[in-house]
Amino acid sequence: MSEPENRPIRTFHPRRGRMSSRHADAHTELWPLFGLDSPDGDRTPLDLDVLFGRTAPVVLEIGFGMGDATAAMAASDPGRGYLGVEVHTPGIGNLLALAGEQGLTNVRVALGDAMHLVHRLAPGSLDAVHVFFPDPWPKARHHKRRLIQPANVAVFRERLRPGGVLHCATDWPEYALAMAETLDADPGLRRLPESKGDRPETKFERRGSDAGRPITDLRYARI
């Protein structure tokens, strides 16, 4: 089926799974404190200082899955805020549960399309953007749905402060090559030495490693 005319191409499958009682309880209790709806078409500017209740560097985590890695990074890095955006409702519930159980006050959780959310952020407002194991859309006819495309990368780069880092990871070699080509071509980004950095292992990473696929981390700083 073709995309409706003038409608942005989605880079994800909407995923509305059933929440466990633990996730549902966390959502009920913590969503009013830590949650953010980002519906399609909402371009209201998002003030990160107001969202986090403090002035501090912020990391945007796109597609955090079940949120285990996001919670681990937030716990080990309390000086930065972590804004995770996801469309998988059980994952949102799990990250909220982890934040509550671990007493994490530097986590905020957004429901919606990441690109809609990014457009609400001010230029230079982010310390880092993380895109860990996005859908590789392996079929050639679906490559247009991949998140790492020139236009999207330009938006990510604009939202980074000078020196801020765009960190991508994938377990699909062909997508890794396409990512590197796209990121290398952006005139406002400088490639950093390949490194996992402080990124914890994710479920998707373990799944890829178990299947024998190599893990590629690509890190770029805004010039």
| Confidence (pLDDT) at 3 | 44
In this predicted model, what pLDDT tens digit does every residue of 51-88 receive, in sequence order? 999 999 999 999 999 999 999 999 999 999 999 999 98
The enclosing H or E element of 173 equals: helix 173-185
| Confidence (pLDDT) at 40 | 81
- The binding site comprises 61, 86, 113, 135, 139, 171, 202-205
| Confidence (pLDDT) at 8 | 54
The question of whether 135 is a catalytic residue gets the answer: yes
Contact 118, 159 (CB under 8 A): yes
pLDDT beyond 70 at 5: no
Which one of the listed residues 25, 68, 127, 135 is annotated catalytic? 135
In this predicted model, what pLDDT tens digit does every residue of 203-220 receive, in sequence order? 889 888 999 999 999 999
The amino acid present at 213, given as its one-letter code, is R
| Confidence (pLDDT) at 43 | 87
| Confidence (pLDDT) at 10 | 56
Look-up of token digits 């949650």: 35
CA 50 to mean position of chain CA atoms: 20
CA 218 to mean position of chain CA atoms: 14
| Mean pLDDT, range 177-198, rounded to an integer | 96
- Is the pLDDT higher at 197 or at 155? 155
Sheet holding 35-38, edge to edge: 35-38, 107-112, 81-86, 58-62, 126-132, 160-170, 216-222, 189-191
DSSP-derived secondary structure for 106-171: SEEEEEE-HHHHHTTSPTT-EEEEEEES-----SGGGGGG-S--HHHHHHHHHHEEEEEEEEEEES
- Is the pLDDT higher at 194 or at 49? 49
Among candidates 46, 47, 48, 65, which has minimal Cα distance to 56?
48
- Is the pLDDT higher at 172 or at 2? 172
Both structure tokens of 162: 């000078």
pTM for this entry? 0.91
Please provide the average confidence, as pLDDT, over all residues in the chain: 91
In this predicted model, what pLDDT tens digit does every residue of 137-178 receive, in sequence order? 999 998 999 999 999 999 999 999 999 999 999 999 999 999
- The binding site for substrate comprises 139, 171, 202-205
Domain-wise residue ranges, the chain: 34-222
Both structure tokens of 178: 């396409």
- Is 34-222 CATH 3.40.50.150? yes
Both structure tokens of 19: 């929440």
Helices (H) and strands (E) in the chain, counts: 8, 8
| Confidence (pLDDT) at 1 | 41
pLDDT beyond 60 at 125: yes
- Residue 202 — very low, low, confident or very high, per pLDDT cuts 50/70/90? confident
CA 143 to mean position of chain CA atoms: 19
